[in-house]
Amino acid sequence: MSTNTPQGKDGEMTSPQELEENKRIVRAFIETAFNQHEAEKAAALLTPDMKWHGGTLGTVEGRENVAGLVRTIVDALPDLHNVEQDIIAERDIVAVRAVVEATHQGDLLGIPASGRHVQWDAVDVYRVANGKIAEEWAADDLLAFVYGVGAYTPPWLAQQPSRSS
């Protein structure tokens, strides 16, 4: 009986144990950074040259800078909680779909604290190298965030004026 094992970037085989270890590393980072709010402790799970790709928010490079980004987020959202919905690992990549909840209590993305409770979806893709997270591609639903804190209302959600008959 043969087993199909995914190949890594360089063609090497990735064992089921390695895939589970990669998922464990990513889960530990999410738990430590976004549920326990311990940015410095979470930084130990990152490579020194870690890159965080945030789409329109840009790229943050370096373990200490990524830890600073985490600190900024949890300072503004002190009760932030990330709940995993799905996690998938293949080769050196781990993808996580999550629901994130928090109360907006500090400035974030140039938006002053609103005191509002917000919830949004996130899909984050991580690359693990030598037991540490080397890259993350973050795809959070920022529209849900800015709408939830009252900073922007998309036209399709704006109240329509009532029509007279």
Give 101-132 pLDDT, tens digit per residue. Answer: 999 999 999 999 999 999 999 999 999 999 99
Whether residue 64 has pLDDT greater than 80: yes
Residue labelled with tokens 């709010």: 37
Domains and their CATH numbers in the chain: 16-149 (3.10.450.50)
Q: How many CA atoms lie within 13 A of 39 on its CB side?
A: 15
Categorize the per-residue pLDDT at 10 as very low, low, confident or very high, splitting at 50, 70 and 90: low
Percent of the chain at pLDDT > 90 equals 84
Closest CA to 80 of 89, 70, 88, 90: 70
What per-residue confidence (pLDDT) applies to 2? 37
Are the C-beta atoms of 124 and 98 separated by less than 8 Å?
yes
Averaged pLDDT, 27-38: 98
| pTM of the model as a whole | 0.88
